[in-house]
């Protein structure tokens, strides 16, 4: 049986119960009035050892103790003896456990990839050799401020670090107070940035020029442009998901989603070479993988196309803007973009209002001409 709060609280003196879902993980009460203690039995260098995790009560619950046991088993499997490791784990050590025990087990694939990139390129790179005890509020604030040019990205990185810090406190890896909680987030102003005809033309010219050199990168950007899909939806898409000129995503950010493929999107797909042993449309550099990080490549392309202050995600807004200009309803646009909430699509309402005004003026002019025709 799996160890639960009820089981722990019903323990008798000198009784030990072992968890059936995690081998070696158990809980024991030595005396009638004594506290229950979580333990782990395992073999290290051929010898069976018993490691004390902690007493039942904050922060040790069956869940946090089980997570800690899994972390200890991970250390043992990698050739380390947890008893010889200093109590203070480095942020890199904790980050690897956090990825394995929290991110992989609880988050969607697209979110996992975002967390991995933040942890690898921003957290471990900066703080990997330090411990959370070493990290002051000013250290965190300075790091957060170094990404001020991209407020949303800076805030997301801070949120990941804060989540990892709180997770490690809950599991007894760290006792230091989470200093991320006291760092002020940047204000994220929602902006609307769309391509002019001249900018779209320059982007198309650059993509045509790069197609032979990097067909997967170019194909991905064309699909963003012609579908308005999210970055992760295109990068992780598989050929088998394409049916009847639609891309059927089994698990997008908002669950199951169907992306209609226009003729232009279909043409973009035809130009992407298939790899026999790779199920993904946008193939990565290694076998059976897909591209994950293309921000740097996009910045290079945007610079070459002279697109000032235009992010890759803005292609999604550009698609919505084009749909509004074609007279499509906000509900239909929300459906194409895969918005779960109507409020999300309402950010394009001001564009829709302008289109309605233009249509009203055109209709009014027609009616006015009809009314004035009596004198002719």
The DSSP secondary structure of 119-188, one letter per residue, reads IIIIIIHHHTTS-GGG--HHHHHHHHHTTTTSHHHHHHHHHHHHHHHHHHHHTTS--S--GGGGSPPPP-
Report the number of distinct structural domains present in the chain: 3
Q: Which of 126, 152, 182 is the last residue of a domain?
A: 182
Q: Are residues 258 and 316 in the same domain?
A: yes
- Specify whether 205 is located in the same domain as 307: yes
356 band by pLDDT with thresholds 50, 70 and 90: very low
Which of 182, 207, 230 represents a domain boundary (last residue)? 182
Residues 39 and 133 in one domain: no
Same domain as 204, residue 122:
no
Provide the pLDDT for residue 38. Answer: 93
pTM: 0.49
**What was the pLDDT predicted at 220?**
94
Q: Tell me the residue range of the domain where 51 lies.
A: 5-77
Both 73 and 97 in one domain: the answer is no
Other CB atoms within 10 Å distance of the CB of residue 51: 19
pLDDT tens-digit readout, 212-241: 999 999 999 999 888 888 888 899 999 999
Mean per-residue pLDDT over the chain, rounded: 82
Kindly state whether residues 289 and 326 are assigned to the same domain: yes
Q: How many residues does the chain have?
A: 376
pLDDT at 140: 95
């Amino acid at each position: 049986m799996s160890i639960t709060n009820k089981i722990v609280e019903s323990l008798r003196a000198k009784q030990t119960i072992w968890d059936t879902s995690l081998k070696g993980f158990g809980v024991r009460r030595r005396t009638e009035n004594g506290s229950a203690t979580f333990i782990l039995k395992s073999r290290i260098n051929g010898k069976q050892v018993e490691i004390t995790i902690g007493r039942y009560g904050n922060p040790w619950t069956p869940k946090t103790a089980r997570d800690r046991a899994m972390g200890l088993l991970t250390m043992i499997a990698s050739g380390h003896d947890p008893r010889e490791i200093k109590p203070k784990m480095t942020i890199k050590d904790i980050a690897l456990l956090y990825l394995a025990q929290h991110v992989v087990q609880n988050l969607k694939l697209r979110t996992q990839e975002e967390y991995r990139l933040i942890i690898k390129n921003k957290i471990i790179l900066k703080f990997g050799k330090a411990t959370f005890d070493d990290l002051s509020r000013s250290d965190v604030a300075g790091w957060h401020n170094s990404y001020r040019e991209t407020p949303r990205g800076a805030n997301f990185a801070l949120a990941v670090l804060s989540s990892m810090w709180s997770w490690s406190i809950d599991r007894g890896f760290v006792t230091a107070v989470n200093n991320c909680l006291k760092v002020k987030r940047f204000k994220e102003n929602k902006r609307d940035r769309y391509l002019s005809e001249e900018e779209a033309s320059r982007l198309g010219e650059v993509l045509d020029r790069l197609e032979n050199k990097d067909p997967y990168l170019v194909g991905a950007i064309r699909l963003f442009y012609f579908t308005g899909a999210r970055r992760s939806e295109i990068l992780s898409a598989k050929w088998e998901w394409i049916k009847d000129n639609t891309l059927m995503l089994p698990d997008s950010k908002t669950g199951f989603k169907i992306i209609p493929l226009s003729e232009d999107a279909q043409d973009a797909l035809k130009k992407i070479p298939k790899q026999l042993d790779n199920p993904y449309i946008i193939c990565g550099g290694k076998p059976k993988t897909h591209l994950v990080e293309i921000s740097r490549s996009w910045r290079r392309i945007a610079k070459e196309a002279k697109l000032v202050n235009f992010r890759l995600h803005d292609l999604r807004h550009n698609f919505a803007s084009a749909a509004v200009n074609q007279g499509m309803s906000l509900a239909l646009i929300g459906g194409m973009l895969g918005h779960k909430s109507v409020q999300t699509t309402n950010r394009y309402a001001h564009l829709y209002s302008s289109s309605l005004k233009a249509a009203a003026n055109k209709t009014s002019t027609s009616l006015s001409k009809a009314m004035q025709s009596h004198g002719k």
